[in-house]
């Protein structure tokens, strides 16, 4: 009698993904999928992954050594994201587990949203929307005068993929673009992007707008702190679409309350940085209490429908590559001892 076919490997998909991603995975794997728009709890995630060969994870998941110890069959953790600070790469590497990320697909939509935050904050667009909806709008009045990007000085903290993409999108505003990065660009890159390298202190002192465009890591944690904010021009505006904990939210609230900081816009918050044990559990209440000087969106930097589909699809493709015995194209580690069959 012919032997029974080997069971298909199991992949856990921790958040909702498009039907096309399920359709791609199903011929190759047994899929345990979160069909809701809310993330699994830590206990649910661990339970689903204990017998799984692969995990497709998102920003809401944290993968550390203790989690991996409880999920011994995992061969790959495919991150459907770019900023992987919630994932312990060293632990995956020690345990022979591939880890992959999505590097390019999030850049353009995040840069677009950054420019949107700049304009919305500078031109008082949320306040204008509230005024029109209030029933008290009777036509033009000399109110809600703001700041334009045209002719302004904009400082970019970080000139990686997102920082460069923001610079390209700001080229049409006739702004002076300053930047700081641990690894300065080449002169040719600076010329092409119309960027001028300055120290972090000079960037703070000269910029009408400051945009945070760096990933979260030990060096960047609260890079924008009370000291940095005190060096900013009075009335300058701050935009953060990177990671919440790159900015000290309490220091921002202090600077807004004192009037030194003109406004703050953010798509990301300290409470989202799950891997930090002392993170706050909710958005800073002092910031929420200042709607006239703040503008917030709920982490929608990459929330373009086709982009989110492509992000999850790339993670799924990396999973299939590993489960079929090949190196995943988007790996960011080299497992110490590759898992069996990989």
Check residue 275 and give its pLDDT. 81
* Residue 34 in domain: yes
Check residue 189 and give its pLDDT. 97
pLDDT tens readout for residues 18-30: 999 999 999 999 9
Check residue 276 and give its pLDDT. 86
Residue 277's pLDDT band, with cuts at 50, 70 and 90, is confident
Q: Answer yes or no: are the C-beta atoms of 232 and 261 closer than 8 Å.
A: yes
pLDDT tens readout for residues 114-137: 999 999 999 999 999 999 999 999
* Residue 1 in domain: no
Residues 79 and 154 in one domain: no
Mean pLDDT confidence for 201-210? 98
Q: Helices 107-122 and 161-170, interaxial angle, to 10°?
A: 50
Owning domain of residue 229: 107-296
3 state DSSP class of 61: coil
Mean pLDDT confidence for 77-90? 92
Q: Helices 125-134 and 107-122, interaxial angle, to 10°?
A: 60
Check residue 231 and give its pLDDT. 98
| CA 178 to chain CA centroid, nearest Å | 22
pLDDT tens readout for residues 256-272: 999 999 999 999 999 99
Residues 147 and 124 in one domain: yes
pLDDT score of 97 more than 80: yes
Residue of 206, 243, 308, 330 marked catalytic = 243
Check residue 3 and give its pLDDT. 56
Active site residue 243: yes
pLDDT above 70 covers a percentage of the chain that reads 96
Residues 161 and 276 in one domain: yes
* Residue 157 in domain: yes
pLDDT score of 342 more than 60: no
Mean pLDDT confidence for 266-281? 91
Q: Answer yes or no: are the C-beta atoms of 168 and 214 closer than 8 Å.
A: no
**Distance of alpha carbon 66 from alpha carbon 97, whole angstroms:** 14
Mean pLDDT confidence for 220-229? 97
Q: Answer yes or no: are the C-beta atoms of 210 and 239 closer than 8 Å.
A: yes
Residues 122 and 16 in one domain: no
* Residue 2 in domain: no
5-9, 63-67, 101-105, 338-342, range with the lowest pLDDT: 338-342
Q: Provide the edge-to-edge strand list for the sheet that holds 237-240.
A: 195-197, 176-180, 153-157, 209-212, 237-240, 263-266, 294-296
Residues 82 and 179 in one domain: no
Residues 200 and 273 in one domain: yes
Check residue 36 and give its pLDDT. 96
Residues 157 and 247 in one domain: yes
Q: What is the CATH number of the domain that holds 156?
A: 3.40.50.720
Residue of 95, 272, 293, 308 marked catalytic = 272
Best CA proximity match to 56, nearest among 7, 110, 99, 107: 99
Check residue 341 and give its pLDDT. 45
Q: Which residue has the tokens 């904050």?
A: 121
* Residue 337 in domain: no
pLDDT score of 340 more than 50: no
* Residue 341 in domain: no
Q: Answer yes or no: are the C-beta atoms of 86 and 214 closer than 8 Å.
A: no
Residues 119 and 181 in one domain: yes
Torsion from C-alpha of 146, 177, 162, 107, nearest 10 degrees? 70
pLDDT tens readout for residues 139-188: 999 999 999 999 999 999 999 999 999 999 999 899 999 999 999 999 99
DSSP letter string, 214-280: ---STTTTT-B-HHHHHHSPTT-EEEE-S-GGGB-HHHHHHHHHHTSS-EEEES--GGG-TT-TT--
pLDDT score of 6 more than 70: no
* Residue 255 in domain: yes
Check residue 83 and give its pLDDT. 83
Residues 111 and 175 in one domain: yes
For the chain, the domain total comes to: 2
Residue of 8, 30, 279, 299 marked catalytic = 299
* Residue 338 in domain: no
pLDDT score of 7 more than 70: yes
Residues 279 and 319 in one domain: no
Residues 193 and 68 in one domain: no
**Distance of alpha carbon 33 from alpha carbon 226, whole angstroms:** 43
- Say which residues have a Cβ less than 8 Å from residue 74's Cβ, sequence separation at least 6: 49, 52, 53, 54, 55, 68, 95, 97, 339
Residues 260 and 234 in one domain: yes
Best CA proximity match to 316, nearest among 100, 52, 104: 100
**Distance of alpha carbon 217 from alpha carbon 151, whole angstroms:** 33
Element (H, E) at 294: strand 294-296
């Amino acid at each position: 009698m012919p032997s029974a076919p080997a069971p298909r490997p199991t992949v856990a998909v921790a958040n909702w993904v498009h039907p096309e991603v399920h359709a791609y995975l199903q011929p190759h794997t047994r899929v345990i999928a979160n069909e809701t728009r809310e993330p699994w709890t830590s206990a649910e995630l661990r339970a689903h992954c204990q017998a799984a060969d692969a995990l497709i994870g998102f920003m809401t998941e944290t993968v550390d050594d203790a989690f991996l110890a409880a999920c011994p069959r995992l061969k790959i953790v495919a991150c459907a994201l770019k900023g992987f600070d919630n994932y312990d790469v060293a632990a995956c590497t020690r345990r022979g587990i591939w880890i992959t990320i999505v590097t390019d697909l999030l850049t353009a939509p995040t840069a677009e949203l950054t420019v949107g935050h700049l304009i919305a904050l500078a031109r008082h667009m949320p306040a204008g929307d509230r005024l029109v909806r209030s029933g008290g709008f009777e036509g033009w009045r000399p109110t809600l005068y703001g700041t334009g990007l045209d002719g302004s000085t904009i400082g970019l903290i970080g000139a990686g993929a997102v920082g460069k993409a923001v610079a390209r999108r700001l080229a049409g505003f006739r702004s002076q673009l300053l930047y700081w990065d641990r690894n300065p660009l080449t002169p040719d890159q600076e010329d092409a992007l119309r960027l001028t390298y300055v120290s972090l202190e000079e960037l703070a002192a000269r910029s009408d707008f400051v945009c945070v465009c760096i990933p979260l890591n030990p060096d960047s944690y609260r890079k924008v702190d009370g000291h940095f904010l005190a060096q900013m021009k009075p009335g300058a505006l701050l935009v953060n679409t990177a990671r919440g904990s790159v900015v000290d939210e309490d220091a921002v609230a202090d600077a807004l309350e004192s009037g030194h900081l003109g406004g703050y816009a953010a798509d990301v918050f300290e409470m989202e940085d799950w891997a930090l044990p002392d993170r706050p559990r909710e958005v800073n209440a002092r910031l929420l209490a200042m709607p006239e000087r703040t503008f917030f969106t709920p982490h929608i930097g990459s929330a373009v429908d086709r982009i989110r589909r492509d992000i999850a699809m790339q993670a799924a493709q990396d999973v299939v590559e590993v489960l079929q015995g090949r190196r995943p194209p988007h790996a960011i580690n080299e497992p110490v001892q590759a898992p069996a069959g990989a």
